[in-house]
Structure 1
């Protein structure tokens, strides 16, 4: 046996389906991602119906999904994908920089929310992270939420420090972009218990949305490292 023979240590490509109503966007993403040995584009969809059909056919690791589709919303598609394909993870890739949209995406089961301004290398890294079980939130969204809240709240560190250890752990997982169900599974809790914890967290932080709470948590973590 030749000891110089190469070993097959290269990571398995992450399989992807792209769902976007723009042919130009689909073609651009396919070309960009297809050029990487780390990603394998299996199929495309131009609307909810064709997107769901492609997901059912290929069962990809990750679906890249736009919010605005001709026959429905990306949230509708996301919800149905997560219900019928538990191993497939969903990345919302959109031009919509809106806190409510992020909240809706997370509630629909999305594992990531990124803006289309992201560069190719960062997108590939994000896709691989999501496929590996992580959750991704665009930094621009977090920064925007913080800028809207900064002048209206007490010290971020003071607010976050008011949380109990269990509440802080729940918030930390939410800040990673995890859904209530995922938090419940990781912590060994009932999903209803997680919802109760979040209600208390929101009240203590003086927020109404999980994206606001996640942004405050991220800011407090950053402050603790300085």
Structure 2
């Protein structure tokens, strides 16, 4: 989930070219929660800054569901800037937006 339409399109295109099945994209918390209910994704990439909304709050809401969604937080900020917030979140990890790739996501999910 990201509130930047250009990033959503670019990330979707990149991940699909790398063989990732992108089942949906969302630009608001409401859209993301609806799509999580309807599509039941294995993983959600969530921007930490969503305009007036918080990616950290959305990550908690997705993780607290009966059928939790694994979350990877993303941002243009560096991991060092957000380390404490990422560590206390239910996310499996963090990626800089420039590092989003299937390989990077797979490494986070594998615990590396």
What is the TM-score with the length of structure 1 in the denominator?
Answer: 0.46
2:4 aligned residue (2, 7, 22): 22
Distance change in 2, residues 1:48/1:66 (3 Å)? same
**What CA distance in whole angstroms lies between the structure 2 residues aligned with 1:102 and 1:85?**
27
Is the contact between residue 65 and residue 92 of structure 1 (CA under 8 Å) also seen in structure 2? yes
> How far does the alpha carbon of each residue in 1:84-135 deviate from its partner, in whole angstroms, 9 at most, with x for none?
15542111111112535222122120111111222x6xx211222344xx34
Aligned to 1:57: 38
**What CA distance in whole angstroms lies between the structure 2 residues aligned with 1:52 and 1:106?**
23
Aligned to 1:212: none
Q: Which has the higher contact order (CA 8 A, sep 6+)?
A: 2
2:86 aligned residue (68, 90, 105): 105
Compute the displacement of 1:35 (Å). 1.4
Aligned to 1:128: 106
**What CA distance in whole angstroms lies between the structure 2 residues aligned with 1:52 and 1:115?**
23
Aligned to 2:27: 46
Which ranges of structure 2 fall in alignment gaps of 5 or more residues? Answer: none
**What CA distance in whole angstroms lies between the structure 1 residues aligned with 2:104 and 2:2?**
18
**What CA distance in whole angstroms lies between the structure 2 residues aligned with 1:36 and 1:25?**
16
Distance change in 2, residues 1:124/1:70 (3 Å)? same
Is the contact between residue 46 and residue 74 of structure 2 (CA under 8 Å) also seen in structure 1? yes
**What CA distance in whole angstroms lies between the structure 2 residues aligned with 1:103 and 1:83?**
20
Q: Which structure's residues are more often helix, by fraction? A: 1
Is the contact between residue 89 and residue 130 of structure 1 (CA under 8 Å) also seen in structure 2? no
> How far does the alpha carbon of each residue in 1:18-49 deviate from its partner, in whole angstroms, 9 at most, with x for none?
x0000000000111111122x10000110222
Aligned pair count? Answer: 112
1:32 aligned residue (14, 18, 30): 14
Which ranges of structure 1 fall in alignment gaps of 5 or more residues? Answer: 1-18, 137-226
Q: Which has the larger radius of gyration?
A: 1
What is the root-mean-square deviation in Å for CA atoms of aligned residues? 1.9
